[in-house]
Amino acid sequence: MILDSKIPNGPLEEKWTNYKKTAKLVNPANRKKLDVIVVGTGLAGSSIAASLGEMGYNVKSFCFQDSPRRAHSVAAQGGVNAAKNYKNDGDSVYRMFADTLKGGDFRARESNVYRMAECSLNLIDQAVAQGVPFGREYGGYLNNRSFGGVQVSRTFYARGQTGQQLLLGAYQALMRQVGKKTVELFSRHEMLDLVMIDGKARGIIVRNLDTGEIERHSAHAVVLATGGYGKIYYLSTLAMGCNGSAIWRAHKKGALMASPSWIQVHPTSLPQSGDYQSKLTLMSESLRNDGRIWVPSKNNETRKGNDIPEEERDYYLERRYPAFGNLAPRDISSRAAKERIDAGFGIGPLKNAVYLDFSKAIREQGKEKIQEKYGNLFDMYLKITGYDAYQEPMMISPSAHFSMGGLWVDYELMTTVPGLFALGEANFADHGANRLGANSLLQASVDGYFIAPYTIANYLSNEIHTGKISTEDPAFEKAENAVKKQIEELINIKGTKTVDHFHKTLGKLLYDYCGLARNEEGLKYAIEEIKKLKQEFYRDVRVSGHGNNMNTELEKAGRVADYFEIGELMCYDALTRNESCGAHFREEYQTPDGEALRNDAEYQFISAWAWTGEHTEPELIKEPLVFEEIQPTVRSYK
């Protein structure tokens, strides 16, 4: 199989314009004849559903939460990037493109990254027009702050709740269309399979989570905007319901998965405090603008943070990366923290954290200024930990966060299954091996508001003569039966261990062997252990209740069943990449001072994986990455 990325011809800065010029249109009168399914209501899902609805297509929008407003985009704190150059500090679309490409360790497509930077300008306009209350200067103009991995101020923010405000904007746009009846909303519904007819995506099978009913929905195109699968580690910054099931089930129907092992570990989350813990809470990366990160310079320090004098503190980021200091990119900051913790310099009751210290910023700027910038984050810290971070340094720790991997998509954001699109974190496209801060809200939004409306229309222009797709087609029946069979199987195991037990065990295995650092031996071990754990799951899991009513345990069991397979693929992916890049750090490939050692000669490609069946190894298909504009260099933040 040869992957066609469909990158348009012409110079980089004209590619998207050229695409739009030649993309085919659908006559407004014909749009009513076309149905589109959108799964997920985060920034990508809400914005594409709203956009397609207002264009006149029949849209069905699905989410597993009780309301589309709960999607996990809501939790992003720090901000959204846009190359507006309002600060006159030398920013431009090109610079943002270059920063993103470099930040992703040269493992992303140039054309996609450039387009994201280009569309960033429109996103801020769109959000402001929707009433998103971004931070403002006293004169009334938009304010910016800076984020890890860059030296300009291009991050727009709404206090520490940027994701919430952007999502509410998109949700309101979606609900406006629901009111106009151009979009039909199905909350508390979970997609359990993709239906293909004649090689095209033609619908989905969903479970109504309230009633347990299995439903069939048909469409001329299916859009998956279901977010990331970082919750595979169990402890992560993601919402409890975040999962990889929709994309995984599409993968098993023929869509390739790209770069599954690139899951970002975020440097500033709250540390784990006990075995009962269900998640790790993210503290916005924006805190690193003013907070200084350090550990005691003495091993096994027992004194409290405030009692350790300045000269006995090791500001290791400022020491190792003087040019970027505390704003070093996420993968580098996370690894540096792990290095210090592993070396015995960690702090806190479990010695698994580092300090994020605001005392200097409070001394210089005053408590009020810090309160204005990060007040809600300090409040959140107090609620969760019981400590006042105005008085003593915060304790932070790295935790699994964002999946750069996902379904492989071409320039049109279409997967290898015709008619199946993947948007936002569900695709692999724009971040390479490491996502720069504040680019996640951006990618999800521009995919949904500005890119997919053109590319999906281009696809649908060939579908106007197809006519209504019947859910009576044998393909629907087959998919529905398979879903019902799986549910029955899970309910009937009636073993002794809970779903969470298996999820936690898998998560720990992945943290240890396919987490911040990996090596060949560990990955091979993990693959075998995951296989064993999966067998044990199908032998000994206990899913209480029935399939025909509300049953959260059953929902979780289905997701964990998929996580076993995703986890295995993550390890295969990590195993075949004999280099260190971004979120992927293979211990065998590092410089003498512990930095990631990339191998461009052999690994300048995207790993796209094909499903070959349950008991066979997945098939690797390579998409070579061609760099015309920027030649890959060693990523240095020193």
Partner 1 sequence: MDLHLKIWRQKDQKSEGKLENYDLKDLNPHMSFLEMLDTLNEKLITEGDEPVEFDHDCREGICGQCGMMINGLAHGPLKNTTTCQLHLRSFKDGETIVIEPFRAEAFPVKRDLKVDRSAFDRIISSGGFVSINTGQAPDATAIAVTHQLAEEAFDSAACIGCGACVATCKNASAALFTSAKVTHMALLPQGKEERSERVIKMVKQMDNELFGHCSNTEACEIECPQGISVLNIARMNYEYSRALFFKRK
Active-site residues: which are they? 330
DSSP string, 315-378: -HHHHH-TTTGGG--HHHHHHHHHHHIIIII-BTTTT-BEEEE-HHHHHHH-HHHHHHHHHHHH
Give the β-pairing of 58-62 and 35-39: parallel
For tokens 């320039």, name the residue: 411
Q: How many residues does the chain have?
A: 638
User: If we measure between CA atoms, which residue out of 269, 197, 200, 256 comes closest to residue 230?
Assistant: 269
Least gap, CB of 390 to partner 1 (angstroms):
17
Query: Which residue, 317 or 451, has its beta carbon nearer to partner 1?
Result: 451
Least gap, CB of 583 to partner 1 (angstroms):
22
Tell me how crowded residue 460 is: count the other CB atoms within 10 A of its CB.
24
Least gap, CB of 437 to partner 1 (angstroms):
17
Least gap, CB of 341 to partner 1 (angstroms):
20
For tokens 């500033």, name the residue: 268
Query: Which residue, 262 or 374, has its beta carbon nearer to partner 1?
Result: 374
For tokens 């993210």, name the residue: 282
Tell me how crowded residue 586 is: count the other CB atoms within 10 A of its CB.
22
Query: Which residue, 281 or 471, has its beta carbon nearer to partner 1?
Result: 281
DSSP string, 594-636: S-B---HHHH-EEEEEE---TTSPPEEEEEE---SSS------
Query: Which DSSP state fits 11?
Result: -
Query: Which residue, 156 or 428, has its beta carbon nearer to partner 1?
Result: 156
**Dmax (CA) of the chain:** 75
Query: Which residue, 47 or 226, has its beta carbon nearer to partner 1?
Result: 47
Query: Which residue, 161 or 434, has its beta carbon nearer to partner 1?
Result: 161
Least gap, CB of 438 to partner 1 (angstroms):
16
- The whole-angstrom separation of Cα 28 and Cα 186 is 25
Query: Which residue, 501 or 508, has its beta carbon nearer to partner 1?
Result: 501
Letter string b/e over residues 292-327, b meaning 16 or more CB atoms within 10 A of that residue's CB:
bbbbbeeeebeeebeebeeeebbbbbeebbeebbbb
- Phi first, then psi: give them for residue 143, nearest 5 degrees: -100, 160
Least gap, CB of 328 to partner 1 (angstroms):
25
How far are the Cα atoms of 186, 490, 533, 548 from residue 555, in angstroms, in the given order? 17, 10, 19, 12
Least gap, CB of 544 to partner 1 (angstroms):
5
